[in-house]
Amino acid sequence: MTNRKIMLAVAAVFLVSVCLSVFILMPSEKREVEIVQNGTVLYTFDLNRAEDREIRISSADGGYNLIVIKDGTICISEADCPDQTCVKMGELKSDYLPIVCLPHKLIVRFAEDES
């Protein structure tokens, strides 16, 4: 009887995890993007209207991130931080999963609704 309860609990946790993953990874319908460094919004773009370009953002420690806007998408293509997590994240797609570079205190995220 206890094995059955354990199996049911594991199955329930698995189902909740799958549902949350699908919810978190759903593509955003928003197109307004903010680039924020150390709590200050540096740039705001509408990806539907933004021209293809590269933006180099320097940090206080002398480091940098290279942000690329291309074909209505945005990503960090290059950085000099040691772990490269921000580069590995790829294109910004989800409202709940921004691109973050902790060493340079940089966030690329979909803008919040003002309502």
**pLDDT reported for residue 40:** 94
This prediction's pTM: 0.79
Q: Determine the Cα–Cα distance for residues 4 and 73; give it in Å rounded to an integer.
A: 47
Q: Which of 37, 34, 92 is nearest to 65 (CA)?
A: 37
Topology annotation, domain 29-110: mini-chromosome maintenance (MCM) complex, domain 2 (2.60.320)
Cβ–Cβ < 8 Å for 55, 33: no
**pLDDT reported for residue 18:** 85
**pLDDT reported for residue 114:** 60
Domain boundaries, the chain: 29-110
**pLDDT reported for residue 61:** 86
What are the average pLDDT values for consecutive 10-residue runs of the chain, which has 115 residues?
84 87 73 93 92 94 94 94 93 91 95 69
